[in-house]
Amino acid sequence: MDNVNNTQAPEPKESNKKIIIISTVVIVALVAAFVIVGLSLGWFGNKTAEKKNSGQIPATISVVETKGSDSATKKVKIKVRDVKFGDKIKKVKAFEKTQEDTLDNPSEASTKDGYTYLTYTFSPKAKFFGVKPADATKGSLLQYVFKKKRLFDMRIQLGDISKKDQQKVRDYLNNKYGKPTNYVKYSNDSWMEWWRTDNKNADKQTILHLNYSPNSGLIVSYESVGRDFGKK
């Protein structure tokens, strides 16, 4: 009978088994890391890179043009719809009740920090600065803002009106108050121009804003800069 050598390779020691297992785990981890990095950098095609690019945050809005100065003033008197700063809510409601260009069913909302918003819907007879406001569904409204129950801001939101009507409003205000004291245009097609009244006490100045944005349309607002109306 032939003497056949059936000797098998010896079993690795227990310590060697641990080394083999650890090495295998490390190699698998390195391969996985390589694949992840490669996918994120687009080494294996452009699909992942395209997804990454499509999820980038859009560029922020920036100023593209300015004219005038924020602190510049004009010797003009700005009338605020036959109401005046400091008027109480009750007085403003009584005034609006006699007007035909708003509907007498305002909404009223107050905040914890002392502000109250009184908002009216325009009637079909409404007309401001030579143009008709857009329909209420297109963002038009008249809003009074009170601080400590005293009027300090009023907004006539004409809404999404045509560019022709936007220009009519600009022409109307330019003819009435002269050129704006400041003008700013933004990269998203929004723009704002305003008139600041001349007063030695800056807290008693009034600012008339004309503001357009693609989202809210055209807004004319009258703001009391810093008047303190005292206690409620």
pLDDT of 50 strictly over 50: no
Neighbour count for residue 181 (Cβ, 10 Å) = 23
Query: What does the domain layout of the chain look like in residue ranges?
Result: 14-54, 63-224
How many Å apart are CA 15 and CA 149, to the nearest integer? Answer: 82
Farthest-apart Cα atoms in the chain, separation: 127
- The region of weakest confidence among 26-30, 87-91, 218-222, 224-228 is 26-30
Lowest mean pLDDT among 12-21, 46-55, 84-93, 161-170: 46-55
Which of the four pLDDT bands, split at 50, 70 and 90, describes residue 59? low
Residue with tokens 């003033």: 73
Q: Measure the CA–CA gap between 137 and 140, rounded to whole angstroms.
A: 7
b/e sequence 18-50, b meaning 16+ C-beta within 10 Å = eeeeeeeeeeeeeeeeeeeeeeeeeeeeeeeee
The 8-class DSSP code of residue 136 comes to G
Share of the chain above pLDDT 70, in %: 72
Which has the higher per-residue pLDDT, 205 or 21? 205
Query: What tokens appear for 163 in the block?
Result: 């560019």
What is the C-alpha separation between 164 and 145, in angstroms, rounded?
29
Instruction: Kindly tell me if the per-residue pLDDT of 116 is higher than 70.
Output: yes
Residue 155 has which token pair?
A: 């907004």
Q: Is 42 left (phi over 0), alpha (psi -120 to 50) or beta?
A: left
Residue 19 has pLDDT above 60, yes or no: no
Is 184:61 a contact under the CB 8 Å cutoff?
no
| Segment holding 211, helix H or strand E | strand 206-213
The number of angstroms, rounded, from the C-alpha of 48 to the middle of its chain's C-alpha atoms is 32
Q: By CB neighbour count within 10 A (0-12 exposed, 13-18 middle, 19+ buried), where does 169 fall? A: buried
